[in-house]
């Protein structure tokens, strides 16, 4: 049976393009409309392609466990993806070519490496917030963007990129802001000069690791036989996947906590009880379920990556529908996290849904904020660890208040779900010092 098309809301010529590709609109309302019309399977179109939208745990299992040749990451992003990330970037590869890059990378994300990075995150948060003064208004997205970029640089590239940092940050910003991405995707030669500059900056790090290999990602990719361009493509992917997501995760979680003061009070009480005046150690972070559930709930309501797709390489059937070869399939964490038969009162901020006995996340593939299956997010442990460290630090060292009267709305930028007009907060230092674990 052919897929039912989402009716209405299509634009002349563009059809559903802005919603599918997240061009500054809130794609959530659009796809929820499809769900209301047809349930968990329906079709949308842009000017070029047809997309099967597949919602809910069963569809997630199908998509996330199905390796190429049935579904392909490479075919999902095509020539545009290749122009932005470079043809050998991991998210564009399948099969052996993927494994050749993903396997060496994964060892850098081992638990011990992440746990050992806690103090560095605290130090970076301390440096970032050193200038915050009482009564100052901060734009959370910008602050979290700067902090998570430094954390990603530190973890992926080594904190000592010190002197190269401003130049790297500047080039990266130009290439990866929405307009830069659009220009690269369109293949405009203007962006090539930033790529060249980036290669100049990174050539130094790569030749350093060739001469003095370490336990880090660049060294591991070089060991696996990748050339310089290939190594840089993977590093850029990791920077993008690892910092644009975490900045949104932190921003949304803080915003939600400030909107729910009773829950925030419970979270602060847990901080006092578990951490007291002590450091934020990897061990103590395991004893903060109230914090962990708040982050999870923020990922449920506003999963940072929320429009994801694959290319269909072979026709298949799902729920009685035929999905033809050459189509694309989409899975949509934000929409699926709002299905009322999977999550009780899905609109409500209710982190206790993850506590026993409810444990609504225990149904396999119900929560897909990090994807799942054989290509689950490579940085998910780092992301959760970073969120817990940063939030513990910020909520002990400062009190925040949302600036009244601001417009808190959602918009997609590509696959990402972020605040359309930012999130402004008033800040007040508490005067509490957060010691480092090593010094304790």
Rule CB under 6 A: which residues touch ligand HEM? 90-91, 102, 152, 237-238, 241-242, 245-246, 249, 303-305, 308, 369-371, 375, 377-379, 382-383
Question: Alpha-carbon distance 69 to 66, whole Å?
Answer: 9
Task: Show the tokens assigned to 301.
Answer: 């309501």
Nearer to ligand HEM, 274 or 308 (CB): 308
Q: Residue with CB nearest ligand HEM? A: 379
Tell the smallest beta-carbon distance from residue 107 to ligand HEM (Å). Answer: 14
Contacts 24+ apart (CB under 8 A), 166-173: 167/197, 167/201, 168/198, 168/201, 168/202, 171/197, 171/198, 171/201, 172/198, 172/236, 172/239
Tell the smallest beta-carbon distance from residue 240 to ligand HEM (Å). Answer: 8
Tell the smallest beta-carbon distance from residue 134 to ligand HEM (Å). Answer: 30
Tell the smallest beta-carbon distance from residue 77 to ligand HEM (Å). Answer: 9
Question: Alpha-carbon distance 173 to 139, whole Å?
Answer: 17
Handedness of CA 389, 393, 394, 399 (dihedral sign): positive
Nearer to ligand HEM, 382 or 427 (CB): 382
Burial label, 143 (beta-carbon count in 10 A; 0-12, 13-18, 19+): buried
Nearer to ligand HEM, 291 or 378 (CB): 378
The answer to whether 257 and 140 have CB atoms below 8 angstroms apart is no
Tell the smallest beta-carbon distance from residue 176 to ligand HEM (Å). Answer: 14
Tell the smallest beta-carbon distance from residue 235 to ligand HEM (Å). Answer: 10
The answer to whether 125 and 393 have CB atoms below 8 angstroms apart is yes
Tell the smallest beta-carbon distance from residue 60 to ligand HEM (Å). Answer: 9
Nearer to ligand HEM, 193 or 214 (CB): 214
Q: Which of 105, 88, 113 is nearest to 385 (CA)?
A: 113
- Which residues make Cβ contacts (< 8 Å) with residue 32, sequence separation at least 6? 335, 338
Nearer to ligand HEM, 1 or 147 (CB): 147
Q: How far is CA 24 from CA 19, 136, 257, 330, 414, in A?
A: 9, 28, 25, 18, 8
Beta-bridge partners for 159: none
Nearer to ligand HEM, 138 or 248 (CB): 248
Nearer to ligand HEM, 92 or 425 (CB): 92
Coil vs helix vs strand at 256: helix
């Amino acid at each position: 049976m052919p897929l039912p098309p989402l009716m209405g809301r299509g634009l002349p010529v563009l059809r559903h393009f802005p919603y599918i590709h997240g061009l500054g609109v809130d794609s959530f309302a659009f796809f929820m409309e499809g769900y209301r019309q047809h349930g968990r399977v329906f079709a949308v179109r842009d000017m070029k392609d047809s997309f099967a939208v597949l919602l809910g745990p069963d569809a997630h299992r199908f998509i996330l466990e199905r390796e190429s040749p049935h579904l392909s990451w490479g075919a999902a992003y095509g020539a545009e993806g290749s122009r932005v990330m470079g043809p050998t970037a991991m998210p564009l590869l399948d099969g052996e070519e993927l494994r050749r890059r993903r396997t060496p990378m994964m060892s850098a994300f081992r638990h011990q490496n992440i746990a050992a990075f806690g103090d560095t995150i605290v130090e970076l948060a301390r440096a970032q917030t050193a200038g915050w003064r009482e009564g100052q208004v901060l734009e959370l997205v910008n602050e979290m963007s700067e902090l998570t970029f430094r954390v990603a640089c530190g973890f992926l590239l080594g904190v000592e990129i010190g002197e190269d940092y401003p130049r790297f940050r500047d080039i990266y910003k130009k290439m990866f802001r929405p307009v830069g991405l659009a220009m690269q995707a369109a293949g405009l030669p203007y962006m090539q000069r930033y790529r060249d500059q980036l290669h100049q900056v990174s050539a130094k790090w790569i030749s350093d690791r060739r001469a003095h290999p370490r336990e880090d990602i660049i060294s591991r990719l070089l060991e696996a036989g990748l050339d310089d361009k290939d190594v840089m493509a993977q590093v850029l992917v990791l920077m993008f996947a690892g910092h644009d997501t975490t900045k949104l995760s932190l921003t949304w979680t803080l915003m939600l906590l400030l909107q729910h003061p009773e829950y925030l009070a419970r979270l602060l009480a847990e901080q006092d009880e578990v951490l007291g005046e002590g450091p934020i150690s990897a061990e103590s972070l395991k004893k903060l379920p109230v914090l962990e559930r708040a982050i999870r709930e923020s990922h449920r309501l506003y999963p940072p990556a929320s429009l994801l797709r694959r290319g269909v390489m072979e026709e298949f059937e799902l729920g009685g529908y035929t999905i033809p070869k050459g189509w694309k399939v989409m899975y949509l964490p934000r929409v699926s996290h709002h299905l009322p038969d999977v999550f009780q009162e899905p609109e409500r901020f209710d982190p206790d849904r993850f506590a026993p006995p409810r444990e609504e996340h225990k149904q396999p593939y119900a929560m897909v904020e990090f994807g799942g299956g054989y290509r689950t997010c490579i940085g998910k442990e780092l992301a959760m660890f970073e969120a817990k460290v940063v939030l513990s630090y910020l909520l002990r060292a400062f009190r925040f208040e949302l600036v009244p009267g601001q417009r808190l709305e959602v918009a997609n930028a590509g696959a990402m779900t972020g605040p359309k007009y930012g999130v402004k907060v008033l800040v007040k230092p508490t005067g509490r010092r957060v010691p480092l674990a090593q010094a304790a």
